[in-house]
Amino acid sequence: MHGTPYAPPRAPADEHGRLAAVHRYGILDTAPDGPFDRVASLAARLFDAPMATVSVVDADRVWFKAVHGLDGVRQVERLPGLCSSAIEQSEPYVVGDALTDPRCAGHPLVTGGPRVRFYAAAPITTPDGRRLGTVGVLDSRPRTASADQLAALGELAALVMDELEGRRAAADALAVERRMRTDAERLARTLQRTLLPPVLPAVSGLDAAAAYHTASLDEVGGDFYDLFPLHDGRWAFFLGDVCGKGADAAALTSLARYTLRAAAIHDPDPCAALATLDSVLKGEYQDGDPRYCTAVFGVLRPAADGSFDVVLAAGGHPPALALRADGAVRPVRTTGGQLIGLLPAPHFVRAALRLAPGEALLLYTDGLTEARTADGGMLGEEGLADHLGPLVPRDADALLAAVDTLLGGLGDGVSDDTALLALSVPARQAPLLPTSRTAPPAQENR
Amino acid sequence: MTERTLTVDSRSHPSGATVLTVSGELDHHTAGQLRAAVEGAPYPPAGTVLDCTGLGYCDSTGITVLVTAYHRAQAAGSPLVLAGLSADLLRVFRIVGLDQIFSYRPTVDAALEALAP
């Protein structure tokens, strides 16, 4: 046996390539739709015949994209004689009387069902010569087809091909666009992540934790934060949010972050640092497409008693929240501080506070407070404060865990990225100062 | 992602003021439309009203365009009044400090009245 070339009977030349073309157009098993239904109906009218089809020949079946007068028939077995034979030639295929034509006398549509006697079909041919299927006309009476009718049938098959080409081009364009968009977003996200410190530095006597919550996979926000030492034993921190999304926002984030770090070396005064950022943003985006950010910038000074003195300033940013040892959650008011990089002479507002042992400070971006609650309203700083009020212990990690739970509960209500930076001073160890504690951390007042 | 839509309509009030009406969602997908309207507005001496009554949403890009309108109006010497800001938008304005630079009134009529000599 070996050495004998295998030749499947009756399969068109390069059936493999033809089937690949059928699948490339993605037409098989799609729902009926207008243009193809109209082609079938036009074909029937052209021949004054009761039945017509737009068919696609799959590996083992003939599947009908459109049928006219053959109700309920969606596909038939791929048997020689009708459509399966019609795609073997480039010219229209005609059976004048099926009962006397040996090519199709045994076909189930001839011996049963509609008892087809007449069949004429023109192949649907791709630009590279693959015949996907046919536009066919069927009658239960024997008859002839004129050259004009067959030419018109060929035109209808060409029309089907044009429609399939158009759809494939549109689908391809969409796929390319989607892929490019996904790539761009992935790149922007990667870039955005590189703009955040991978780990926060260890600050003696202070717990610090940060988190970045992503709201949407296809829109990258531009939130940023950092915590870093100044040369004199103090520490600086900032957290902010740039306008816009995607790669542009990532570039702006990078600029904002490095500007604030450089500004802090020059002059760590919080208002001065924000003013420097304002000037840099205005200089960078002066071509009529202004960009801005909101930010909180602060400086931490360790005090002798283990507390930290905090001086901060904000521009256009929601207020940080101070979690006090007595159970209160109070906004650190910086209302009136304006957007950075957008206004002629922006005003930044300074605030000072002391973080005692057992107390914490939470900085966040507006993705958190502008999230929608179940009743449709914004969470707001009040809603956030209410959620954090009962928190024990008031340390940085617990704070971020509580916000994480809150965001998880809001689900789809969160529409923007949220950056979080939590700073807390560990509660004093009882043995160190056994007599000086005035009161236990008061949770009982709630 | 749902498709966001925005419409912008510009008309001249008998007082001579221009009323720009913004409706829909103002975000980085739709901000271009308002930007074009803001760039092309006449900013007459009688004033400009930016009617935000139908503005359901405004993101950070949208705020940039509103501030552009402020700059244009300032440069042209045309007093600008925002009308019909939602409670949410007013709250955002207060947080970002824009309440200090914008004049706003609850309705277009009140805004036109504020502009009347």
For residue A356, the domain's CATH number is: 3.60.40.10
Nearest to B96 among A291, A316, A416 (CB): A316
Identify the pLDDT of residue A445. Answer: 36
Last residue of a domain, one of A110, A137, A170: A170
**Partner residue facing A336 (CB), from B28, B61, B97:** B97
A275 lies in some domain: yes
A202 and A158 in a common domain = no
A244: chain B residues, CB-CB within 8 Å:
28, 60-61
Q: What is the mean pLDDT of residues A415-441?
A: 71
How large is the angle between the packed helices A380-388 and A396-410, nearest 10 degrees? 120
pLDDT attached to residue A7:
37
Residue A153: inside a domain: yes
* pLDDT over 90 at A187, yes or no: no
CB contact under 8 A, B60 and A244: yes
A413 within some domain: yes
The model's pTM: 0.66
Number of domains in chain A: 2
CATH code of the domain in which A159 resides: 3.30.450.40
Query: What is the tens place of the pLDDT at every residue in B48-105?
Result: 999 999 998 888 888 989 999 999 999 999 999 999 999 888 988 999 999 999 999 9
Query: In this complex, do B67 and A380 lie within 8 Å of one another by their Cβ atoms?
Result: no
Model confidence at A218, pLDDT cuts 50, 70, 90, reads low
Q: How far apart are CA A380 and CA A327, in angstroms?
A: 19
What mean pLDDT do residues A226-231 have? 93
Residue A8 lies in a domain: no
Among B61, B92, B98, whose Cβ lies nearest the Cβ of A243? Answer: B61
Give the residue from A217, A242, A245, A415 with the most B CB atoms within 10 Å of its CB, the best one to mutate. A245
In A, residues 122-161, which contact B (CB 8 Å cutoff)? none
Whether the bond between A102 and the residue before it is cis, its omega within 30 degrees of 0, is no
Q: How many residues does chain A have?
A: 446
Is residue A34 assigned to a domain? yes
Residue A146 lies in a domain: yes
Residue A114 binned pLDDT confidence (cut-offs 50, 70, 90): confident
Cβ distance of A317 and B95 shorter than 8 Å: yes
- Put simply, the answer to whether B97 touches A337 (Cβ < 8 Å) is yes
User: Averaged over A246-265, what is the pLDDT?
Assistant: 87
Contact A218 B98 (CB under 8 A): no
Whether A139 and A260 map to the same domain: the answer is no
Contacting A with CB below 8 Å, chain B residues are 1, 28, 59-61, 63-64, 67-68, 88, 91-92, 94-98, 100-101
Does the CB of A291 have a partner CB in chain B at under 8 Å? yes
Is A185 within the bounds of a domain? no
Looking at residue A203, the DSSP 8-state letter turns out to be: B
Interface size, chain A vs chain B, as Cβ–Cβ contacts under 8 Å: 59
Chain A contact probe: residue of B25, B27, B64 with most A CBs at under 10 A: B64
pLDDT tens sequence across A15-67: 888 999 999 898 888 888 888 999 999 999 999 999 999 999 998 888 999 99
Q: Which of A5-14, A156-165, A284-293, A422-431 comes out lowest in average pLDDT? A: A5-14
CB contact at 8 A, A281 and B67: no
A contact residues 243-272, partner B, Cβ 8 Å cutoff: 243-245
For an interface test with A, the pick among B30, B35, B91, B96 (most A C-beta atoms closer than 10 Å) comes out as: B96
CATH class of B7-110: alpha beta
Q: Please name the residue ranges forming H helices in A339-379.
A: 366-369
Higher pLDDT, A38 or A248: A38
The answer to whether A9 and A99 are in contact (CB under 8 A) is no
pLDDT in the model for residue B3:
58
Lowest mean pLDDT among A223-237, A239-253, B17-31, B99-113: A239-253
Task: Catalogue the long-range contacts made by B103-106 (C-beta closer than 8 Å, 24 or more residues apart).
Answer: B103/B79, B105/B81
Q: What is the pLDDT at residue A217? A: 67
Residue A375: domain span:
195-432
What count of residues does chain B have?
Answer: 117
Q: Cβ B100–A291 below 8 Å, yes or no?
A: no
CA angle A34, A54, A122 (to 5 degrees): 130
Contact, B54 vs B22, CB < 8 A? yes
Taking an 8 Å cut-off on Cβ atoms, the answer to whether B97 and A370 are in contact is no
pLDDT at A55: 94
Sheet holding A61-68, edge to edge: A75-77, A61-68, A51-57, A131-139, A118-125, A93-95
The pLDDT tens digits of the residues spanning A357-411 come to 999 999 999 989 989 988 888 899 999 999 998 888 889 999 999 999 999 999 8
* A51-57/A61-68 β-pairing: antiparallel
A3 in a domain, yes or no? no
The most confident of the ranges A113-127, A215-229, A245-259 is A113-127
**In the listed set A136, A170, A204, which residue is the last one of a domain according to the structure?**
A170
Of the candidates A273, A252, A398, which has an alpha carbon nearest to the alpha carbon of residue A348?
A273
Regarding whether A139 and A271 lie in a shared domain, the answer is no
Instruction: Mark which residues 425-444 of A lie under 8 Å from B by CB.
Output: none
In the prediction, which pLDDT does A12 show? 56
* Interface contact flag, B91 A378, Cβ < 8 Å: yes
Instruction: Please report residues of B whose CB lies closer than 8 A to that of A315.
Output: 97
Q: Pick the residue with more confidence: A178 or A351?
A: A351
Q: Which of A343, A370, A380 sits opposite B67 (nearest CB)?
A: A343
Residues A250 and A386 both lie in one domain:
yes
| Contact: B96, A218; criterion CB under 8 Å | no
A337/B92 touch (CB, cutoff 8 Å), yes or no: no
Q: What percent of chain A is modeled with pLDDT above 70?
A: 91
A78 lies in the same domain as A214? no
| φ/ψ (deg, to 5) at A260 | -65, -40
Give the model's pLDDT for residue A9: 40
Cα–Cα distance between B20 and A216 in angstroms, integer?
A: 32
Does residue A434 carry a pLDDT above 50?
no
Look-up: residue for tokens 């400009």? B48
Pair A166, A21 in one domain: yes
Q: A249 and A115 in one domain?
A: no
Cβ separation A347–B61 shorter than 8 A: no
Asked if residue A88 has pLDDT above 90, the reply is no
Chain A hits for B72, Cβ within 8 Å: none
